[in-house]
Amino acid sequence: MYGYKSMEYLANLHEGDAPARLAYVTNGVAPFWTIAEKGALQAESDLNVSVEVVMPSGGITDQKDKIEDLLTKKVDGIAVSPIDADNQTELLNKAAERTNLVTHDSDAPASNRICYVGMDNYEAGLMCAELVKKALPEGGKVMIFVGRMEQDNAKHRRQGLIDGLIGKKREKGGVDLPEEKFIHVPAQTIEKGNVDEFWSTLKQRLGKE
Protein backbone atom coordinates (compact mmCIF):
# COMPACT_ATOMS: atom_id res chain seq x y z
CA MET A 1 0.00 0.00 0.00
CA TYR A 2 2.81 2.45 0.87
CA GLY A 3 4.50 1.83 -2.45
CA TYR A 4 1.37 2.24 -4.55
CA LYS A 5 -0.01 5.26 -2.69
CA SER A 6 3.34 7.08 -2.79
CA MET A 7 3.77 6.59 -6.53
CA GLU A 8 0.13 7.50 -7.18
CA TYR A 9 0.51 10.78 -5.30
CA LEU A 10 3.72 11.71 -7.11
CA ALA A 11 2.23 10.75 -10.47
CA ASN A 12 -0.65 13.14 -9.87
CA LEU A 13 1.81 15.97 -9.22
CA HIS A 14 3.67 15.44 -12.48
CA GLU A 15 3.28 17.98 -15.25
CA GLY A 16 4.27 17.32 -18.82
CA ASP A 17 3.53 14.87 -21.62
CA ALA A 18 6.32 12.39 -20.95
CA PRO A 19 5.68 9.68 -18.33
CA ALA A 20 6.87 10.69 -14.88
CA ARG A 21 10.18 9.22 -13.70
CA LEU A 22 9.71 8.39 -10.03
CA ALA A 23 11.81 6.80 -7.30
CA TYR A 24 10.72 4.82 -4.26
CA VAL A 25 13.43 4.86 -1.58
CA THR A 26 13.24 2.56 1.45
CA ASN A 27 15.21 2.74 4.69
CA GLY A 28 16.89 -0.61 4.14
CA VAL A 29 16.42 -4.13 2.84
CA ALA A 30 13.69 -6.22 4.49
CA PRO A 31 10.68 -8.42 3.61
CA PHE A 32 8.40 -5.49 4.43
CA TRP A 33 10.01 -3.50 1.66
CA THR A 34 9.67 -6.38 -0.79
CA ILE A 35 5.91 -6.09 -0.33
CA ALA A 36 6.02 -2.30 -0.71
CA GLU A 37 8.12 -2.70 -3.86
CA LYS A 38 5.34 -4.78 -5.42
CA GLY A 39 2.94 -1.90 -4.82
CA ALA A 40 5.29 0.66 -6.34
CA LEU A 41 5.81 -1.48 -9.44
CA GLN A 42 2.08 -2.09 -9.74
CA ALA A 43 1.63 1.68 -9.82
CA GLU A 44 4.21 1.83 -12.61
CA SER A 45 2.03 -0.52 -14.65
CA ASP A 46 -1.31 1.06 -13.76
CA LEU A 47 -0.35 4.72 -14.02
CA ASN A 48 2.03 4.75 -17.00
CA VAL A 49 4.99 6.04 -15.02
CA SER A 50 8.58 4.87 -14.65
CA VAL A 51 9.44 3.68 -11.14
CA GLU A 52 12.89 2.97 -9.75
CA VAL A 53 12.88 1.16 -6.40
CA VAL A 54 15.97 1.92 -4.31
CA MET A 55 16.79 -0.10 -1.18
CA PRO A 56 19.89 1.28 0.60
CA SER A 57 21.73 -1.48 2.44
CA GLY A 58 24.39 0.67 4.10
CA GLY A 59 22.44 2.84 6.51
CA ILE A 60 22.07 6.61 6.51
CA THR A 61 25.21 7.32 4.44
CA ASP A 62 24.08 4.93 1.73
CA GLN A 63 20.58 6.42 1.72
CA LYS A 64 22.07 9.90 1.33
CA ASP A 65 24.21 8.75 -1.60
CA LYS A 66 21.24 7.10 -3.27
CA ILE A 67 19.08 10.22 -2.96
CA GLU A 68 21.84 12.44 -4.35
CA ASP A 69 22.25 10.03 -7.26
CA LEU A 70 18.52 10.27 -7.99
CA LEU A 71 18.75 14.06 -7.96
CA THR A 72 21.60 13.86 -10.46
CA LYS A 73 19.34 11.75 -12.67
CA LYS A 74 16.71 14.51 -12.40
CA VAL A 75 13.84 12.23 -11.46
CA ASP A 76 10.41 13.85 -11.32
CA GLY A 77 9.60 12.69 -7.82
CA ILE A 78 11.03 10.84 -4.82
CA ALA A 79 9.22 9.02 -2.04
CA VAL A 80 11.56 8.26 0.86
CA SER A 81 11.41 6.65 4.28
CA PRO A 82 14.06 8.68 6.15
CA ILE A 83 16.40 6.72 8.40
CA ASP A 84 17.15 9.65 10.70
CA ALA A 85 14.87 12.56 9.83
CA ASP A 86 16.29 14.93 12.44
CA ASN A 87 19.74 14.65 10.91
CA GLN A 88 18.60 14.52 7.29
CA THR A 89 16.62 17.77 7.11
CA GLU A 90 19.25 19.53 5.00
CA LEU A 91 19.39 16.64 2.53
CA LEU A 92 15.61 16.35 2.31
CA ASN A 93 15.18 20.08 1.81
CA LYS A 94 17.79 19.98 -0.95
CA ALA A 95 15.79 17.21 -2.61
CA ALA A 96 12.53 19.13 -2.14
CA GLU A 97 14.03 22.11 -3.99
CA ARG A 98 14.88 19.99 -7.01
CA THR A 99 11.99 17.52 -7.29
CA ASN A 100 8.65 16.54 -5.81
CA LEU A 101 9.44 14.95 -2.45
CA VAL A 102 7.15 12.96 -0.17
CA THR A 103 7.91 10.80 2.83
CA HIS A 104 6.38 7.39 3.45
CA ASP A 105 6.37 4.92 6.35
CA SER A 106 8.35 7.35 8.53
CA ASP A 107 7.89 11.12 8.34
CA ALA A 108 10.31 14.05 8.44
CA PRO A 109 8.13 16.81 9.94
CA ALA A 110 10.89 19.45 9.95
CA SER A 111 11.59 19.06 6.24
CA ASN A 112 9.93 20.65 3.23
CA ARG A 113 8.45 17.41 1.97
CA ILE A 114 5.05 17.83 0.30
CA CYS A 115 3.21 15.21 2.33
CA TYR A 116 3.54 12.04 4.40
CA VAL A 117 2.14 8.72 3.17
CA GLY A 118 1.60 6.19 5.93
CA MET A 119 -0.12 5.32 9.15
CA ASP A 120 -0.42 7.27 12.38
CA ASN A 121 2.35 5.41 14.17
CA TYR A 122 1.28 6.61 17.62
CA GLU A 123 -2.14 5.07 17.04
CA ALA A 124 -0.41 1.88 15.85
CA GLY A 125 1.47 1.80 19.16
CA LEU A 126 -1.81 2.12 21.06
CA MET A 127 -3.20 -0.80 19.05
CA CYS A 128 -0.16 -2.86 19.99
CA ALA A 129 -0.70 -1.99 23.66
CA GLU A 130 -4.22 -3.42 23.47
CA LEU A 131 -2.82 -6.71 22.16
CA VAL A 132 -0.25 -6.82 24.96
CA LYS A 133 -2.98 -6.27 27.56
CA LYS A 134 -5.03 -9.09 26.03
CA ALA A 135 -2.02 -11.40 26.16
CA LEU A 136 -1.17 -10.41 29.76
CA PRO A 137 -4.50 -9.68 31.47
CA GLU A 138 -2.88 -9.92 34.91
CA GLY A 139 -0.02 -7.64 33.92
CA GLY A 140 3.66 -8.47 33.75
CA LYS A 141 7.03 -7.30 32.49
CA VAL A 142 7.28 -6.20 28.87
CA MET A 143 10.38 -5.62 26.76
CA ILE A 144 10.12 -3.39 23.70
CA PHE A 145 12.35 -4.09 20.70
CA VAL A 146 12.85 -1.16 18.31
CA GLY A 147 14.70 -1.36 15.01
CA ARG A 148 16.01 2.21 14.89
CA MET A 149 15.10 4.68 17.61
CA GLU A 150 16.19 7.62 15.44
CA GLN A 151 13.30 6.98 13.03
CA ASP A 152 10.19 9.11 13.45
CA ASN A 153 7.84 6.13 13.13
CA ALA A 154 9.73 4.12 15.76
CA LYS A 155 9.57 6.97 18.26
CA HIS A 156 5.81 7.35 17.88
CA ARG A 157 5.05 3.61 17.92
CA ARG A 158 7.11 3.13 21.07
CA GLN A 159 5.44 6.06 22.80
CA GLY A 160 1.99 4.87 21.76
CA LEU A 161 2.72 1.43 23.18
CA ILE A 162 3.99 2.85 26.47
CA ASP A 163 1.08 5.28 26.81
CA GLY A 164 -1.41 2.54 26.03
CA LEU A 165 0.06 0.25 28.68
CA ILE A 166 0.03 2.89 31.42
CA GLY A 167 -3.42 4.18 30.49
CA LYS A 168 -2.33 7.54 29.15
CA LYS A 169 -3.19 8.93 25.74
CA ARG A 170 -2.31 12.14 23.93
CA GLU A 171 -5.08 14.36 22.66
CA LYS A 172 -3.37 14.27 19.27
CA GLY A 173 -1.88 11.24 17.58
CA GLY A 174 1.56 10.99 16.06
CA VAL A 175 0.67 12.90 12.90
CA ASP A 176 -0.11 16.60 13.25
CA LEU A 177 -0.76 17.49 9.62
CA PRO A 178 -3.65 18.96 7.63
CA GLU A 179 -5.67 16.35 5.76
CA GLU A 180 -4.19 17.22 2.37
CA LYS A 181 -0.66 16.53 3.66
CA PHE A 182 -1.42 13.18 5.31
CA ILE A 183 -2.16 10.30 2.94
CA HIS A 184 -3.47 7.91 5.57
CA VAL A 185 -2.75 4.19 5.28
CA PRO A 186 -4.63 2.65 8.25
CA ALA A 187 -2.82 0.35 10.64
CA GLN A 188 -4.16 -3.20 10.79
CA THR A 189 -4.24 -5.50 13.79
CA ILE A 190 -3.22 -9.07 12.91
CA GLU A 191 -4.51 -11.50 15.54
CA LYS A 192 -4.70 -15.28 15.61
CA GLY A 193 -8.19 -15.27 14.13
CA ASN A 194 -7.22 -13.56 10.87
CA VAL A 195 -3.54 -14.45 10.49
CA ASP A 196 -4.25 -17.08 7.80
CA GLU A 197 -6.17 -14.53 5.76
CA PHE A 198 -3.32 -12.05 6.20
CA TRP A 199 -0.65 -14.45 4.95
CA SER A 200 -2.81 -15.56 2.03
CA THR A 201 -3.22 -11.94 0.93
CA LEU A 202 0.49 -11.32 1.41
CA LYS A 203 1.46 -14.30 -0.77
CA GLN A 204 -0.86 -13.09 -3.51
CA ARG A 205 0.80 -9.66 -3.46
CA LEU A 206 4.21 -11.29 -3.70
CA GLY A 207 3.06 -13.46 -6.59
CA LYS A 208 3.63 -16.70 -4.71
CA GLU A 209 0.16 -18.09 -5.29
Residue 204 lies in a domain: no
Are residue 13 and residue 112 in the same domain, yes or no? Answer: yes
Does residue 207 form part of some domain?
no
Q: Rounded to two decimals, what is the model's pTM? A: 0.78
What CATH number has the domain bearing residue 13? 3.40.50.2300
Does 22 map to a domain? yes
What is the per-residue pLDDT for 24? 98
Residue 11 shares a structural domain with residue 107: yes
Mean of all residue pLDDT scores within the chain: 85
**Confidence check: pLDDT of 185 > 70:** no
Does 194 reside within a domain? no
Domain-embedded: residue 196: no
pLDDT at 178: 53
Clarify whether residues 45 and 29 are in a common domain. Answer: yes
Q: What 3-state DSSP class applies to 163?
A: helix
Scored b (16 or more CB within 10 A) or e, 12-43 reads eebeeeeebbbbbbbbbeeeebeebbbbbbbb
Number of domains in the chain: 2
- For residue 208, the model assigns a pLDDT of 46
Tell me: do 161 and 84 sit in the same domain: no
Q: Which structural domain range is residue 151 located in?
A: 121-174
Over residues 8-12, the mean pLDDT reads 95
Task: Output the pLDDT for position 179.
Answer: 59
Q: What would the pLDDT profile of 129-169 be if each residue is shown by its tens digit?
A: 999 998 899 889 989 888 788 888 888 888 889 999 998 87
Whether residue 183 is contained in a domain is answered as no
pLDDT digits (tens, 9 = 90+) for 86-109: 999 999 999 999 999 999 999 998
Q: pLDDT at residue 69 above 60?
A: yes
175 SS3 class:
coil
Q: Distances in Å between the alpha carbon of 110 and those of 83, 128, 176?
A: 14, 27, 12
